[in-house]
Chains A and B, each alone.
Chain A
Amino acid sequence: MATTISFVLNGKQRSLRVDDPEIPLLWVLRENLGLTGTKYGCGMALCGACTVHVNGEAVRSCITQASQVAGKKVTTIEGLSGDGSHPVQKSWIAEEVPQCGYCQPGQIMSAAALLAKNRNPSDAEIEQAMAGHICTCGTYNRTRKAIHAAAAMMKKGA
Chain B
Amino acid sequence: MRTAIHQGRRTFLKASAAAGGGLVIGFYLPGLQPIAEAAAGPTQLNAFVRIGTDGKVTFVCGQSEMGQGSHNGLAMMLAEELEVEFKDVRIEQGGIDPAFGNPRYIGFKAVGGFQATGGSSSIRNIGGNVRRAGAAARFMLTSAGAERMKVSHSECAAENGFVVHKPSGRKVSYGAIANDAATMVAPADPVLKQPSEFKIIGKATPRHDTPPKVRGTATFGLDVKRPGMLVATVAKCPVFGGKVKSFNADRALKVPGVRKVVQIGSGVAVVADGFWAAKKGRDALEVTWDEGPMAKVSSPGMYQSWAELAKGPTAAERLRTGDIGAALAGGAKRVQAAYEVPFLAHVCMEPMNATAHFKGDSIEIWAPTQAQSWNQHWVSQATGLPPKAITIHTTYLGGGFGRRLESDFVLDAVETSRAAGNVPVKVVWTREDDLQHDFYRPASYNVFEAALDANGMPTAWRHRIVGTSILQYFKTFGHFLRKDGMDPTSAQGAGDYFPYDIPNVLVDYVNNNPGVPSGFWRSVGNTQNGFLLESFVDELAHAAGKDPYQYRRQLFNKPHAARLRAVLDLAAEKAGWGKPLPSGVHRGIAAHFAYGSYCAEVAEVSVAKDGNVKVHRVVAAIDPGWIVNPDTVAAQVEGAIFYGLTAALYGEITVKNGRVEQSNFHDYKIARMGEMPKVEVHILQGKGEQGGAGEPGANPVAPAVCNAIFVATGKRIRKLPINPETLRS
Closest chain-B Cβ to A41's Cβ sits at a distance in Å of 6
A115 at the interface (CB under 8 A from B): no
Q: Which of B350, B664, B673 contacts A100 (CB 8 A)?
A: B350
B25 at the interface (CB under 8 A from A): no
A116 at the interface (CB under 8 A from B): no
Residues B215 and A47 in contact, CB atoms below 8 Å apart = no
Residues A141 and B638 in contact, CB atoms below 8 Å apart = yes
How far is it, in angstroms, between the C-alpha of A78 and the C-alpha of B214 when the chains are bound?
A: 9
How far is it, in angstroms, between the C-alpha of A135 and the C-alpha of B642 when the chains are bound?
A: 10
Q: Which residue of B lies closest to A24 (CB)?
A: B276
Residues B210 and A92 in contact, CB atoms below 8 Å apart = yes
Scan A10-32; emit 1 where CB is below 8 A from any B CB, else 0. 00000000011001100100111
A92-B210, A93-B214, A102-B399 given; A140·B676 CB < 8 A: yes
A158 at the interface (CB under 8 A from B): no
B607 at the interface (CB under 8 A from A): no
Q: Which residue of A lies closest to B645 (CB)?
A: A138
Most A CB atoms within 10 A — which of B216, B218, B231, B348? Answer: B216
Residues of A within 8 A of B477 (CB): none
Residues A43 and B431 in contact, CB atoms below 8 Å apart = yes
Q: How large is the interface on B (under 10, 10 to 19, 20 to 34, 35 or more residues)?
A: 35 or more
A31-B231, A49-B349, A92-B210 given; A127·B673 CB < 8 A: yes
B277 at the interface (CB under 8 A from A): yes
Residues A43 and B430 in contact, CB atoms below 8 Å apart = yes
How far is it, in angstroms, between the C-alpha of A98 and the C-alpha of B216 when the chains are bound?
A: 12
Residues of B within 8 A of A148 (CB): none
Residues A31 and B274 in contact, CB atoms below 8 Å apart = yes
How far is it, in angstroms, between the C-alpha of A133 and the C-alpha of B209 when the chains are bound?
A: 21
Residues A126 and B673 in contact, CB atoms below 8 Å apart = yes
User: Which residues 459-513 in B have Cβ within 8 Å of A in the complex?
Assistant: none
User: Which residues 77-130 in A have Cβ within 8 Å of B in the complex?
Assistant: 77-78, 83-84, 89, 92-93, 96-105, 108, 126-128, 130
Q: Which of A27, A97, A127, A142 contacts B274 (CB 8 A)?
A: A27
Q: Which residue of B lies closest to A139 (CB)?
A: B639
How far is it, in angstroms, between the C-alpha of A135 and the C-alpha of B66 when the chains are bound?
A: 13
A38 at the interface (CB under 8 A from B): yes
Residues A38 and B216 in contact, CB atoms below 8 Å apart = yes
How far is it, in angstroms, between the C-alpha of A31 and the C-alpha of B222 when the chains are bound?
A: 11
Residues of B within 8 A of A142 (CB): 635, 638
B198 at the interface (CB under 8 A from A): no
Residues A102 and B277 in contact, CB atoms below 8 Å apart = no
A40 at the interface (CB under 8 A from B): yes
Residues B276 and A98 in contact, CB atoms below 8 Å apart = no
A60 at the interface (CB under 8 A from B): no
Residues B67 and A37 in contact, CB atoms below 8 Å apart = no
Residues A136 and B222 in contact, CB atoms below 8 Å apart = no
Residues A27 and B275 in contact, CB atoms below 8 Å apart = yes
B679 at the interface (CB under 8 A from A): yes
Q: Which residue of A lies closest to B399 (CB)?
A: A100
Residues B210 and A140 in contact, CB atoms below 8 Å apart = no
How far is it, in angstroms, between the C-alpha of A140 and the C-alpha of B671 when the chains are bound?
A: 10
Residues of A within 8 A of B646 (CB): 136, 138
Residues A40 and B351 in contact, CB atoms below 8 Å apart = yes
B421 at the interface (CB under 8 A from A): no
Residues A102 and B280 in contact, CB atoms below 8 Å apart = no
Residues A131 and B673 in contact, CB atoms below 8 Å apart = yes
A76 at the interface (CB under 8 A from B): yes
Residues B672 and A134 in contact, CB atoms below 8 Å apart = yes
Residues of A within 8 A of B134 (CB): none
Residues B670 and A134 in contact, CB atoms below 8 Å apart = yes
Residues of B within 8 A of A40 (CB): 222, 275, 351, 428
Residues A141 and B678 in contact, CB atoms below 8 Å apart = yes
Scan B616-637; emit 1 where CB is below 8 A from any A CB, else 0. 0000000000000001000110
Q: Which of B66, B223, B256, B430 contacts A36 (CB 8 A)?
A: B223
Residues B673 and A93 in contact, CB atoms below 8 Å apart = no
How far is it, in angstroms, between the C-alpha of A43 and the C-alpha of B431 when the chains are bound?
A: 7
Q: Which of A34, A46, A77 contacts B215 (CB 8 A)?
A: A77
Scan A28-67; emit 1 where CB is below 8 A from any B CB, else 0. 0011101111111111101101000000000000000000
Q: Which residue of A lies closest to B522 (CB)?
A: A136
Residues of B within 8 A of A101 (CB): 67, 209-210, 212-214, 218, 396, 398
Residues A98 and B213 in contact, CB atoms below 8 Å apart = yes
Residues of A within 8 A of B223 (CB): 30, 36
Q: Which of A35, A42, A96, A126 contacts B207 (CB 8 A)?
A: A96
How far is it, in angstroms, between the C-alpha of A2 and the C-alpha of B396 when the chains are bound?
A: 35
Q: Which of A20, A93, A137 contacts B399 (CB 8 A)?
A: A137
Residues A134 and B276 in contact, CB atoms below 8 Å apart = no
Residues of A within 8 A of B210 (CB): 92-93, 96-98, 101
Most A CB atoms within 10 A — which of B399, B646, B673? Answer: B673
How far is it, in angstroms, between the C-alpha of A30 and the C-alpha of B401 when the chains are bound?
A: 26
Q: Which of B211, B218, B274, B635 contacts A93 (CB 8 A)?
A: B211
Residues B274 and A100 in contact, CB atoms below 8 Å apart = no
Residues of B within 8 A of A134 (CB): 349, 665, 670, 672
Closest chain-B Cβ to A19's Cβ sits at a distance in Å of 4
Q: Which of B257, B350, B665 contacts A20 (CB 8 A)?
A: B257
Most B CB atoms within 10 A — which of A102, A104, A135, A141? Answer: A102
A93-B211, A127-B673 given; A136·B348 CB < 8 A: yes
Closest chain-A Cβ to B688's Cβ sits at a distance in Å of 27
Closest chain-A Cβ to B698's Cβ sits at a distance in Å of 10
Closest chain-A Cβ to B543's Cβ sits at a distance in Å of 34
Residues A100 and B280 in contact, CB atoms below 8 Å apart = no
Residues B676 and A141 in contact, CB atoms below 8 Å apart = yes
Residues A46 and B666 in contact, CB atoms below 8 Å apart = yes
Q: Which residue of A lies closest to B205 (CB)?
A: A96
B57 at the interface (CB under 8 A from A): no
B660 at the interface (CB under 8 A from A): no
Q: Which residue of B lies closest to A93 (CB)?
A: B210
Q: Which of A27, A39, A131 contacts B398 (CB 8 A)?
A: A39
Residues of B within 8 A of A78 (CB): 215-217
How far is it, in angstroms, between the C-alpha of A32 and the C-alpha of B276 when the chains are bound?
A: 11
Residues of B within 8 A of A139 (CB): 635, 638-639
Closest chain-B Cβ to A86's Cβ sits at a distance in Å of 9
Closest chain-A Cβ to B437's Cβ sits at a distance in Å of 16
How far is it, in angstroms, between the C-alpha of A89 and the C-alpha of B212 when the chains are bound?
A: 10
Residues B670 and A136 in contact, CB atoms below 8 Å apart = yes
A96-B207, A131-B672, A139-B639 given; A41·B349 CB < 8 A: yes
Q: Which of A23, A93, A102 contacts B276 (CB 8 A)?
A: A23
Q: Which residue of B lies closest to A91 (CB)?
A: B214
How far is it, in angstroms, between the C-alpha of A105 and the C-alpha of B223 when the chains are bound?
A: 13
User: Which residues 631-677 in B have Cβ within 8 Å of A in the complex?
Assistant: 631, 635-636, 638-643, 646, 664-666, 670, 672-674, 676
**10 closest residue pairs by CB, A with B:** A37-B216, A138-B642, A102-B398, A100-B67, A101-B213, A99-B67, A77-B216, A36-B223, A46-B665, A127-B674
A-B contact pairs, 16 of them (CB 8 A): A24-B276, A36-B220, A36-B223, A46-B664, A78-B217, A96-B631, A99-B68, A99-B635, A100-B348, A100-B400, A101-B398, A104-B214, A131-B672, A136-B643, A138-B642, A142-B638
Q: Which A residues lie at the B interface, using CB under 8 A?
A: 2, 19-20, 23-24, 27, 30-32, 34-44, 46-47, 49, 76-78, 83-84, 89, 92-93, 96-105, 108, 126-128, 130-131, 133-144
Given A136-B348, A136-B349, 8 new contacts (CB under 8 A): A20-B277, A23-B276, A92-B214, A93-B206, A100-B349, A101-B209, A108-B214, A127-B673
